[in-house]
Amino acid sequence: MTARLVLAWALVGIPLAYGLYKAIETAANLFAS
Amino acid sequence: MTGISTPGFLARERTIAAPGFNRWLIPPAALCVHLCIGQAYATSVYKVSLTDRFDTGATQVGFIFSIAIVMLGLSAAVAGKWVDHGGPRRAMFTAACFWAAGFLVGALGISTGQLWLVYLGYGFIGGIGLGIGYISPVSTLIKWFPDRPGLATGLAIMGFGGGALIASPLSAELLARFDSGFDPTNVESVASGSAVASLFVTLGIIYFAFMMFGAFTVRVPADDWLPAGFDPEKVKQRALITTADVSANNAVKTRQFWLLWVVLFCNVTAGIGLLEQAAPAIQDFFRDTEGGTTAVAAAAAGGFVGVLSLFNMAGRFVWSSTSDVIGRKPIYVIYLGGGMILYFLVATVGDTSTALFVLLTAIILSFYGGGFATVPAYLRDLFGTYEVGAIHGRLLTAWSAAGVVGPYIVNGFLDAQGEPGTLTSAAYQPAFFTMVGVLAVGFLANLAIRPVAERFHEPSDPTEKVTA
């Protein structure tokens, strides 16, 4: 059950982390100038 | 719809969790669906490519996404009972089929140059997947987390916002792979139509696989299951929380349903109005008084949209979880009352500093996201768990209506003030003061919500309940 839990959260967590990173990267443009 | 026979592997009975099942597997199963359908708000990446491909205007291309959002509201309203009674696996499986088929039919339309096929595919078929997918995990999450329904639904509905954050950069990167001449870092660069068709096929396959994982991971709790240490009687002590059940058909006959419809409509109208106009708004607020140059560059305005997206997503989880502690009615007092104050401040002193403007609008967007994520738990409190997914589906028509009214209010006032690119902060005051009024209506509607009268409750004997 623990392995399934880790797999399930990794499956949604990794893409979400990618999306968050890219959004923060874009948001950083607001403070770049 | 309920007369359609269901294959055995999708049947609700086959998804009842065995003893010892860990309920924390349910939020990622729900996220598998919401992260995928959240793509609906990441369509700007290829919008210009589609106008080029079909040699048409932005309005005709925008119509694809309008159909999808209208179908979201309609299918959630119509299929809600079917979703509730058939269980989450059948609903997620169906949503995955519609959502993926929508992309594939849409890709065919792009390849063959037939816009109507894109309307049918992404708009109509995909929109049905959106609606069924959006409500598919809601009642299951509420049943697994009776002690923290706001946190559970907040996690899933946060995924809808997160889906857009993932799909935008992912689509740009995939388009660059399919079209070597496309540069996603250059705003002037436009991907070819064949690259968008390939993107649709790829997204359709990825999303189908992802949503299937959710469908086959999700389980429903046994009827007598309760989390360890949870006492329903303690929850009932709060005035607005019921342990009785109200059917979807009866719910729409209650004053509470329509008051909550108004609450959601007003909260979404205020948020969408700002979200739609975010990038030009920040540039206009810091334009010189003659309507000439702006102090905010286009890249920084894009960054502002990114900040709003992050607060929209975070608000869904943070505020909805907070509602488990302070209660649903008080949290909407904060969303709507706080929103009124913030909108007033943006309109009156928002142009004094960029940091202040960003802070005020970001909090407004966090309330917008929070309003979406908290509403399923509010419905659970008022109407019980029996057909909460179906009631939620019917309430989402408020979203569809707000999606039309919010941009109409802002664009209508701005059009009367002058040409885009020449507006200043003063031009936004009529629209933003109107939003204060809209939020005030929602605020009063929320205050008027009382417990549902007993005559609307289902009989306590489950065998007497009308099953669809």
Percent of chain B surpassing pLDDT 90: 60
- Between B85 and B96, the higher pLDDT residue: B96
The tens digit of pLDDT for each residue in B114-131 reads 999 999 999 999 999 999
Q: Give B260's Cβ-side CA count (13 Å radius).
A: 31
A26 contacts on B by Cβ (under 8 Å): 302-303, 305-306
Which residues, in sequence order, are CB contacts of B402 under 8 Å at separation 6+?
B264, B265, B266, B268, B269, B272
Q: At B134, which amino acid appears?
A: Y
Q: Where are the domains of chain A?
A: 2-32
For B295, the closest chain A residue by CA position comes to A33
- Average pLDDT on B328-344 reads 97
A24 contacts on B by Cβ (under 8 Å): 306, 310
**B303 with A23: Cβ contact below 8 A:** no
> Residue B376: its pLDDT value, please?
94
- Average pLDDT on B312-333 reads 95
A20 contacts on B by Cβ (under 8 Å): 162, 165, 310
Confidence of residue B454 (pLDDT cuts 50, 70, 90): confident
Cα R_g (chain B), whole angstroms: 22
**A27 with B310: Cβ contact below 8 A:** yes
Indicate if B232-456 has the same CATH topology as B24-217. Answer: yes
Q: Which CATH architecture has domain B24-217?
A: Up-down Bundle (1.20)
Q: How far is CA B149 from CA B157, B233, B321, B384, B467, in A?
A: 12, 16, 8, 12, 24
Of B28-42, B96-110, B409-423, B445-459, the range with the lowest mean pLDDT is B409-423
To the nearest whole number, what is the mean pLDDT of chain B? 89
ipTM of the complex, rounded to two decimals: 0.94
> Residue B54: its pLDDT value, please?
92
Residues in chain B: 468
Q: Is the pLDDT of residue B109 over 70?
A: yes
CB burial string B344-382: b at 16+ within 10 A, e below: bbbbeebbeebeebbbbbbbbbbbbbbbbbbbbbbbbbb
Contact B356/A at CB under 8 A: no
Q: How far is CA B198 from CA B19, B117, B124, B171, in A?
A: 44, 16, 20, 11
Q: What is the pTM of this model?
A: 0.88
> Residue B139: its pLDDT value, please?
87
**Rounded to whole angstroms, how far apart are CA atoms B342 and B336?**
10
For B30, the closest chain A residue by CA position comes to A12
Contact at 8 Å (CB) between B41 and B164?
yes
The tens digit of pLDDT for each residue in B344-392 reads 999 999 999 999 999 999 999 999 999 999 999 999 999 998 889 999 9
> Residue B465: its pLDDT value, please?
55
Instruction: Tell me how many residue pairs between chain A and chain B have CB atoms under 8 A apart.
Output: 83
CA B281 to chain centre: 23
- Average pLDDT on B9-22 reads 88
Q: Is the pLDDT of residue B58 over 90?
A: no
The tens digit of pLDDT for each residue in B397-447 reads 998 888 888 888 888 888 888 877 788 888 899 999 999 999 999 999 999
> Residue B4: its pLDDT value, please?
58
Q: Is the pLDDT of residue B462 over 70?
A: no
Contact B19/A at CB under 8 A: no
Contact B279/A at CB under 8 A: no
Which residues, in sequence order, are CB contacts of B190 under 8 Å at separation 6+?
B48, B49, B52, B182
For B32, the closest chain A residue by CA position comes to A12
Q: Which residues pair with B287 in a beta bridge?
A: B294
| Phi/psi of residue B253, nearest 5 degrees | -90, -5
For B299, the closest chain A residue by CA position comes to A29
A19 contacts on B by Cβ (under 8 Å): 162-163, 165-170
Q: At B164, which amino acid appears?
A: A
> How many C-beta neighbours within 10 Å does residue B222 have?
12
Q: How far is A32 from chain B (nearest CA, A)?
A: 7
Which residues, in sequence order, are CB contacts of B228 under 8 Å at separation 6+?
none
Q: How far is B266 from chain A (nearest CA, A)?
A: 27
Contact B302/A at CB under 8 A: yes
**Rounded to whole angstroms, how far apart are CA atoms B33 and B214?**
6
> Residue B461: its pLDDT value, please?
63
Which residues, in sequence order, are CB contacts of B98 under 8 Å at separation 6+?
B125, B126, B128, B129, B132
The tens digit of pLDDT for each residue in B305-317 reads 888 989 999 999 9
Q: How far is CA B7 from CA B86, B94, B176, B214, B340, in A?
A: 11, 12, 41, 18, 50
Contact B305/A at CB under 8 A: yes
The tens digit of pLDDT for each residue in B211-238 reads 999 999 999 999 888 888 887 776 656 6
Q: Is the pLDDT of residue B250 over 90?
A: yes
> Residue B467: its pLDDT value, please?
42
Q: Is the pLDDT of residue B279 over 90?
A: no
**Rounded to whole angstroms, how far apart are CA atoms B32 and B76?**
18
Superfamily in which the B232-456 domain is placed by CATH:
MFS general substrate transporter like domains (1.20.1250.20)
- For B49, the token pair is 């490519």
> How many C-beta neighbours within 10 Å does residue B50 have?
24
Q: Where are the domains of chain B?
A: 24-217, 232-456
Q: How far is B296 from chain A (nearest CA, A)?
A: 8
- For B186, the token pair is 């250059």
Q: Report the candidate in B1, B8, B10, B4 with the shortest Cα–Cα distance to residue B87.
A: B10
Q: How far is B359 from chain A (nearest CA, A)?
A: 12
Cα R_g (chain A), whole angstroms: 14
The tens digit of pLDDT for each residue in B156-190 reads 999 998 998 899 899 999 999 999 999 888 777 88
> Residue B220: its pLDDT value, please?
94
| Phi/psi of residue B92, nearest 5 degrees | -65, -40
**A9 with B159: Cβ contact below 8 A:** no
